[in-house]
Amino acid sequence: MTVNQNISLDSDPVLLEIFWNRLSSLVTEQAVNIIRTSFSPLVREAGDIATALFDRKGRMLAHGQTGTPGHLIPMTRTVLEFLAEFPIDTLKPGDVFITNDPWKTTGHFFDITVASPIFDGGTLIGFAASTAHHADIGGTGFGASANDVFEEGLFIPVCKMYDAGVRNDTLFRLIRANVREPDAVVGDLDAQNAANEAAGRAMRELIHEYAIHDLDAVVEEIFLRSERAARQALREVPNGSYTSVLNLDGYDEPIKVVLTLHIRDEEIEADFTGTSPQIRKGINVCENYTFGYVAFALRCAIGREIPHNFGSLSTFKLNAAPGLIVSCTFPAPVAARHLVGQMIPGLVLQTLAQAWPDKVMADGAGSVWGVTLNGQTREGRPYAAVALIAGGIGARSAKDGLSTMQYPTGTRCVPVEVLELEAPFVYYGKELLTDSGGAGRFRGGLGQRVTLEVVPEGSSCVVNLVCDKTRIGPQGLFDGLPGQIGRTLGRDGVPVHPKQRFVVEDSQYLVLETPGGGGYGDPRQRDRAAVRRDLALGYISEQAAREIYGLVD
């Protein structure tokens, strides 16, 4: 079926909305295709990916409804980086581009971006792109212990994965020779490429169905409407400059992230002046990843129904001088950049609370915790595995925080059964932590206690812990109390460094207690029925019910 050619999408709002929904559905299907055809649990089970369509100038047009903000929004710059290396007039059907450059894509080597130009009858009409967190990239593994980026694995500069349909076999041999899980990594790259190709076909079919003769005009109309909606939403936020400070564990020494939001009519500038400098451990964050989580958090609170694209993102600005821990420079190590980067949404909302208290939530655990393994099986096969462990989300102005949720990534925990099959994990228990959610009129989400053991099958294995907020818990808002701090313990309750890298010869017993979310409002104003329910479910103790919430019966 072909839509009436007398109707113009750029002038008919109803038809444009229908086209837009079809476009969004197309990109979501692109993400689903990657998940269905992927090899590694991080993609197949956790969904640690993002997909997007771009116009022929490399500007992001639409994105999938599944995927992580830390992949999606930084990718808005990646296609432009591809075009800087390979100008538009040199592109050919069948070209496919690839990179994992942390400063040009999503912040560490594990995230590989693949992009394909879309041609229709020999004319370039756009790009399909995807980013996925891969099982392994060589080096010291997924941890924070590296002293520079050279220790962290294989650096893939902007290059061609396919040239006019011809596979770059040298590149694939190089990748296979440098990673512990070559079949999974190459399989996931093939999944990304196939999904991009399918998205390109679907894009061409959609254009033909709607008989679009001037795609540029339609694209510009989408950008214009997105930007207009974003600016209108920003007008509701009071002007001013608002500052907050977030204190984090750092590696050996604490760090601070200072954020000032300058709200000026229809724009917001996120200013990180005063933030700690980058360090020689792998928790530094590239500026593109920082921008991704700033924009995500602002959009959660302001005009949350507005999509991320070139038009809407133009209303957000970032000021972060090179060399800060949130805007590190090459060759700073960045493998565990999420330990700082994924804390940024909580800081953004904490700061925005000064201007718009009813539209935000308290701080939460922030970055997802991880236990990563590298080793060999009895048969001598190298493996790499990651166990993701979530904490609690902060309470909102009218609702409790969610317990053990992977926010802000939107990823999922890999099932225990899959982890035990893939690597020498033995799980003994997962349970919610009583009293871990910050008390408040609305309670923060609970953290969890995970008890497990690493029992190498063959030779020894290397374990990396990637955990934070073990010194200061997530902060509450408006008299809400902080969430409980996290703890990383060994056998007999002996503390273990939350970012330790160590070799396990026989076994390593671990107890990991993730932080709870901060509370919102005075705990003594909490509904009495809600307090009793929390007590009955074991979410709070009798002591907390009595002494913090003031329950007397």
- Note the helical H segments in 478-551: 528-537, 542-547
Q: Is the bond preceding residue 331 a cis peptide, omega within 30 degrees?
A: yes
Confidence at residue 11, expressed as pLDDT on a 0 to 100 scale: 66
pLDDT > 80? residue 459: no
Confidence at residue 4, expressed as pLDDT on a 0 to 100 scale: 47
Tokens 């200013």 locate to 271
Q: What is the pLDDT of residues 339-372, one digit of tens each?
A: 999 999 999 999 999 999 999 999 999 999 999 9
Confidence at residue 9, expressed as pLDDT on a 0 to 100 scale: 65
Q: For residues 211 and 248, what is the distance between their CA atoms, to the nearest angstrom?
A: 54
Token pair of 26 as six digits:
């197309």
Strand-pair category, 316-319 with 267-271: parallel
Confidence at residue 6, expressed as pLDDT on a 0 to 100 scale: 40
pLDDT > 50? residue 221: yes
pLDDT averaged over the chain? 95
Lowest mean pLDDT among 156-160, 423-427, 533-537: 423-427
> Where in the chain are the domains?
13-213, 237-358, 361-553
What mean pLDDT comes out for the span 109-118?
Answer: 98
What mean pLDDT comes out for the span 248-266?
Answer: 97
What mean pLDDT comes out for the span 459-488?
Answer: 95
- With beta carbons less than 8 A apart as the criterion, state whether 247 and 468 touch: no
What mean pLDDT comes out for the span 445-458?
Answer: 93
Sign (positive or negative) of CA dihedral 285, 471, 499, 474: negative
- Read off the pLDDT band of 43 (50, 70, 90): very high
What are the C-alpha distances in Å from 302 to residues 24, 233, 294, 348, 397? 21, 6, 12, 12, 15
Q: Which residues pair with 429 in a beta bridge?
A: 451
Q: For residues 153 and 109, what is the distance between their CA atoms, to the nearest angstrom?
A: 7
Burial class, 453, CB count within 10 angstroms (exposed 0-12 / middle 13-18 / buried 19+): middle
Cα–chain-centroid distance for residue 397? Answer: 24
What are the C-alpha distances in Å from 520 to residues 269, 347, 448, 551? 26, 15, 20, 18
Confidence at residue 66, expressed as pLDDT on a 0 to 100 scale: 84
Report pTM: 0.95
- Read off the pLDDT band of 181 (50, 70, 90): very high
Lowest mean pLDDT among 2-16, 296-310, 340-354, 518-532: 2-16
- With beta carbons less than 8 A apart as the criterion, state whether 386 and 411 touch: no
Confidence at residue 13, expressed as pLDDT on a 0 to 100 scale: 84
The residue type at 497:
H
What mean pLDDT comes out for the span 155-184?
Answer: 98
Q: What is the pLDDT of residues 65-100, one digit of tens each?
A: 888 999 999 999 999 999 999 999 999 999 999 999
Lowest mean pLDDT among 2-6, 352-356, 455-459, 498-502: 2-6
CATH topology of domain 13-213: Beta-Lactamase (3.30.450)
- Read off the pLDDT band of 1 (50, 70, 90): very low
Question: What is the end-to-end Cα distance of the chain in Å, rounded?
Answer: 68
Confidence at residue 460, expressed as pLDDT on a 0 to 100 scale: 80
pLDDT > 60? residue 2: no
Confidence at residue 5, expressed as pLDDT on a 0 to 100 scale: 47
Confidence at residue 10, expressed as pLDDT on a 0 to 100 scale: 60
Q: Is the bond preceding residue 408 a cis peptide, omega within 30 degrees?
A: yes
Tally the C-alpha atoms within 13 A of residue 274's C-alpha that lie toward its C-beta: 12
Confidence at residue 57, expressed as pLDDT on a 0 to 100 scale: 97
Q: What is the DSSP string of 45-87?
A: TT--EEEEEE-TTS-EEEE-SSS-HHHHTTHHHHHHHHHHHS-
